[in-house]
Each structure stands twice: as C-alpha cells, then as structure tokens.
Amino acid sequence: MKKTYKIEVDCANCALKMEEAAKKVEGVQGATVSFMTQKMKVEFTDSADEKAVMQNVRRACKKVEDDCEIFLE
C-alpha cells in the first residue's frame, strides 16, 4: 500500500536525510521524498498499521532534521 503525505522541509539535503530515515522505520517498504513538490510517498509492508508507522516515521525524520514537518491527516 502506498500513501502520499504533505511535508515541509527547507533544504534539499534535509529531504534526502528524511528519506533515508523513513526507509529505516519498521513497516516501511520504501519511501521517497520530493523536495520540489514537498511530498513524501511511503510504501508500507502488508501487515503494517499505517497510522502507527507514520508516527514512527515522523519521529525518525524529526530526529535527523529538527524543523521538518510531516502532515498526517
């Protein structure tokens, strides 16, 4: 399952770091961050609970880039 989230991040390098961090979160199959469109696309593993995983993704991203934001509806 894939989902796209709106994000806010200031620099391209930070976007790369967020992508790396998101990929390492459990339950995430793959992640791509587009700095240009300010969007993050996350592919979840089959059994993952998307809401819980996204909380972790957000935490992981905050860790590498302090002032980024992922908007989870």
Q: Does 1 bind another protein (CB under 8 A)?
A: no
Tell me whether residue 4 or residue 49 sits nearer to another protein (CB atom): 4
Interacting residue with another protein among 6, 24, 39, 59 (CB under 8 A): 39
> What SS3 state is found at 31?
strand
Task: Give helix 12-24 / helix 50-64 axis angle, nearest 10°.
Answer: 140
CA dist., res. 66 & res. 68, Å (int): 6
Q: Does 63 bind another protein (CB under 8 A)?
A: yes
Residues near another protein (CB under 8 A) = 4, 10-13, 16-17, 32, 34-39, 41, 63-64, 66-67
